[in-house]
Chain A
Amino acid sequence: MMAIPVLFALLFVLQTRIDARAQAEAQAQEELMLRSPAAIEKMSLGYNSLLADVYWTRAVQYYGERFATPHATFGLLWPLLDISTTLDPKLLPAYHFGAIFLSQSGNSGADRPDLAVKLVKRGIAANPKRWGLYADLAFLYYWHFQDYKDAAAAYLAGSKVADGPAWMPIMAARMEQKGGSIDTSRLVWSQIYESSANEKIRKMALDTLKGLKAEEDEADLNNLADQYRQRFGRFPSSFAEMRDAGLLRGIPVDPEGYPYVLGADGKTSLDPHSPVVIPEVPKTPPPLPKD
Chain B
Amino acid sequence: MSTMSGVVAVNTFREAVRDRVLYNLVFFALLMIGAAILVGQISIGIDRLVIVNLGLSAISIFGLVMAIFIGVGLVYKEMEKRTLYSLLAKPIRRWEFLVGKYAGLVLTLAINTAFMTIGLAAALFYVGRPFVRSDASILVAVYFILLALALVTAIALFFSCFSSPMLSTLFTLGIYVAGIFAGDIRNFGALTKNPMMKGVTSAIYYLVPNFHNFNSIAAAAHGEPIPFALIWQNTLYALLYIVLLLVASSAVFSQRNLK
B-binding residues in A (CB < 8 A): 42, 45-50, 52-53, 56-57, 60-61, 88, 90-91, 93, 97, 197-198
Contacts and interface: CB of A to CB of B under 8 A. Distances in A.
B20 to A, nearest CB: 24
Contacts of B211: 46
Contacts of B215: 46
Report, nearest first, the 10 A-B pairs whose CB atoms are least far apart. A49-B218, A50-B57, A50-B53, A46-B215, A197-B45, A49-B53, A53-B50, A47-B57, A90-B222, A49-B217
Contact of A45 (B45, B54, B177): B177
Contacts of B46: 53, 56, 91, 93
Interface of B: 42-46, 49-50, 53-54, 57, 60-61, 177, 180-181, 184, 211-212, 215, 217-218, 221-222
Contact of A53 (B43, B60, B180): B43
Contacts of A97: 44
B97 to A, nearest CB: 33
A93 B70 CA distance: 41
B53 A46 contact: no
A90 B52 CA distance: 14
B177 A88 contact: no
A90 B45 contact: no
Nearest to B177: A45
A41 B181 CA distance: 11
Q: Please indicate which of the listed interface residues A49, A52, A53, A198 has the most CB atoms of chain B within 10 Å of its own CB.
A: A49
Contacts, number: 52
10 contacts: A45-B180, A46-B60, A46-B211, A47-B57, A49-B218, A49-B221, A50-B57, A50-B217, A197-B45, A198-B44
Nearest to A127: B222
A47 B54 contact: no
A61 B222 contact: no
B123 to A, nearest CB: 14
Contacts of B180: 45-46
A198 B54 contact: no
A93 B45 contact: yes
Contacts of A45: 177, 180
Nearest to B148: A46
Contact of A42 (B53, B60, B184, B217): B184
Contact of A61 (B42, B45, B184): B42
Given A46-B212, A57-B42, A93-B46, 11 more contacts: A46-B215, A46-B217, A48-B218, A49-B217, A50-B217, A53-B54, A57-B50, A60-B42, A61-B42, A90-B218, A198-B44
Residue among A50, A56, A93 having the largest count of chain B Cβ atoms under 10 Å: A50
A95 to B, nearest CB: 12
Contacts of B221: 49
B218 to A, nearest CB: 4
A127 to B, nearest CB: 10
B217 A47 contact: yes
Contacts of A52: 53
A53 B53 contact: yes
Contacts of A60: 42, 44
